[in-house]
Amino acid sequence: MNSIKRFALFALFTALWACGNQANETWTEEQIATETAKANDFFEESFQKGLDRSPMRQSYLGIKTDYDKWDDISDERAAEDLAITKDELKYLVDSIDRSRLDKQGKISYDLFKKDAEDNINNFKWRFYNYPVNQMFGMHSQVPSFLINIHQVKDSSDAAAYVARLKGVSHLFDQLITGLKTREDNGIVPPKFVFPRVIEDSKNILKGAPFEKGASGTLLADFEGKVAALDIADDAKTNLINSAKEALLSSVQPAYTQLIGFLEDQETRATEEDGAWKFPNGNEYYNMALKRTTTTDLTAEEIHQIGLSEVERIHNEMREVMKEVGFEGDLKAFFTFLKEDDQFYYPNTDEGKEEYLDSAKQIINNMESRLDELFITKPKARVMVKRVEAFRENSAGKAFYQSPAPDGSRPGTYYVNLANSKNMPKFEMEALAYHEGIPGHHMDRSIAQELTGIPKFRKFGGYTAYVEGWELYSEYVPKEMGMYSNPYANYGRLAMELWRACRLVVDTGIHLKKWTRQQGIDYYINNTSGSERECVRMVERHIVMPSQATAYKIGMLKILELRAAAKEKLGDKFDLREFHEVVLTSGAIPLNTLEMLVNEWVDTKKAESI
């Protein structure tokens, strides 16, 4: 692929970088250290200020300061956050001398400044999203958060859980206010979203204490956590009774109100799917692509890259067909892979356990060979877990949850086993490499464990970098000979094909006004994905404009940088050192990654002279 074009800002960024490095010659090491410490203190203060304003993020990071609270999701809070961002940007520009910062300090300065400017400039787009959809939203985040993130180690943690149950009513009041504001601004989800969200919401109100029978999702979770506490039985009973009361007085009316609002709004929803339907929708989509990919590629350019990559991958798949002796065309091969039972575990509890066991083995095998690829490796462990029943019908096929920085919670690779037919054996290896090791778990855990960089970089992210690395992580095991058979390699290609198709369909829907069905048909005709997978993917594009373009654009950039480094360094190229450069500055924009790789190459070349 031709070099990905960078932001126009890149030239300025590079010039500032060069000027800053030259200016370092006029500063002593002590002056540089002092100014860098001042900048890092500011970045830490800013991060902590944001953390103090987000009880939920505190919990994700294993902090229990506001363990009994939810985030404030009101527009008033958003306006306050904007004012803080403006004040912080002014302080950065007026009070921090960039020329006196060390290398990582300059990176932090530039990233903080660019992010602040983007947040300010894009504040006008804050309602251009669907905070309740089939992929995510408070309706599913609340139970998922309480079950997976809110740990109960003692009675105070249990009391905080109950307090959060009591707070759901106010949280959902804010949520519904936000949904109404979006509708006033012409932002309403398409019709297909509503049945999924309503179903998930109703699932939370099944079981005790809402109806007779076994405990429902939240009560069962709380009872299990309280049962494990080393406290008196009557104290356990009191806590459980308090939880039941909170579920009935807060959670039930909150979900009932949300369901009622959604059922009403559904009557006004349309089947128009693209961002083009929003006021100034094309402008919004172009902005979203720039932020997602950290490039200035146009929607049309991304569309064409996708078409080219689809053709290339199809040709590689035809080579696999020859390898396994399949007679027929590629479409027939897709059908064979979809329909032959040899490629799927039984859709039974035993079959699903077998899938989980196999996924764990794949990750363990890869973990044993990390020294061949990496210098820095994560301390945090990774576990494989099935997606909970209450959300598996709407959730994606697999995803990753970062570990708690204090080690209290491992990284988690979630597998959606609602139907084993949606999780073919031939994709297992690539999927485990993507979500587990060397994919998400490597880059997210290493970033959290870095020292010497501010927390906003440890815990922040750029989708093109993060997801580009994960897709690249599916490719590297192929180079190591780790795919167990031709069908597993086909699975790798099948997943890469998905990411190429995403470029085509995302831009098709949001630029070219494709319908939902046109997008589904494109996937069905060009991939071996099940109809459910094709439908779910298109619906993901619709509710998350631009997000799915990050994977392939990021992967292509990493491969491009690697190829250029190998060409320049020859036998001096070291893959482990290349990965060290890529992974040890946290998640960064692609233009910043290119700068760091080029700097490493120049240093290596100078050392060999």
Q: What is the pLDDT of residues 526-561, one digit of tens each?
A: 998 888 889 999 999 999 999 999 999 999 999 999
DSSP assignments along 424-459, one per residue: -GGGHHHHHHHHSTTTHHHHHHHHHH-SSS-HHHHS
List pLDDT tens digits, range 143-187: 999 999 999 999 999 999 999 999 999 999 999 999 999 999 999
Which value, to the nearest 10 degrees, does the dihedral of the CA atoms of residues 596, 366, 381, 373 take? Answer: -20
Per-10-residue mean pLDDT of the chain, 609 residues long, equals: 40 44 70 96 97 96 95 98 98 97 96 97 97 94 95 97 98 98 97 95 97 96 97 98 98 98 98 96 97 94 98 97 95 92 94 94 94 94 88 79 86 91 93 94 92 90 93 96 95 96 98 97 92 92 96 97 97 96 94 96 88
- Cα atoms in the Cβ-side hemisphere of radius 13 Å centred on 608: 12
Cβ count within 10 A of residue 513: 13
| Cα distance from N-terminal residue to C-terminal residue, the chain | 31
> What pLDDT score was predicted for residue 11?
41
List pLDDT tens digits, range 23-51: 445 889 999 999 999 999 999 999 999 99
DSSP assignments along 540-559, one per residue: HHHHSTTGGGHHHHHHHHHH
List pLDDT tens digits, range 570-586: 999 999 999 999 999 99
Q: What is the pTM of this model?
A: 0.87
Question: Kindly report the CA angle at 457 between 453 and 462, in degrees rounded to 5?
Answer: 150
Cβ count within 10 A of residue 349: 9
As a whole number of angstroms, the distance between CA 99 and CA 32 comes to: 9
In terms of Cβ atoms closer than 10 Å to its own Cβ (0-12, 13-18, 19+), residue 22 is exposed
> What pLDDT score was predicted for residue 532?
86
Contact at 8 Å (CB) between 347 and 419? yes
In terms of Cβ atoms closer than 10 Å to its own Cβ (0-12, 13-18, 19+), residue 329 is exposed
Q: 401: alpha, beta or left, given left = phi > 0 and alpha = psi -120 to 50?
A: beta
Contact at 8 Å (CB) between 204 and 217? yes
> What pLDDT score was predicted for residue 396?
73
As a whole number of angstroms, the distance between CA 179 and CA 265 comes to: 10
> What pLDDT score was predicted for residue 394?
66
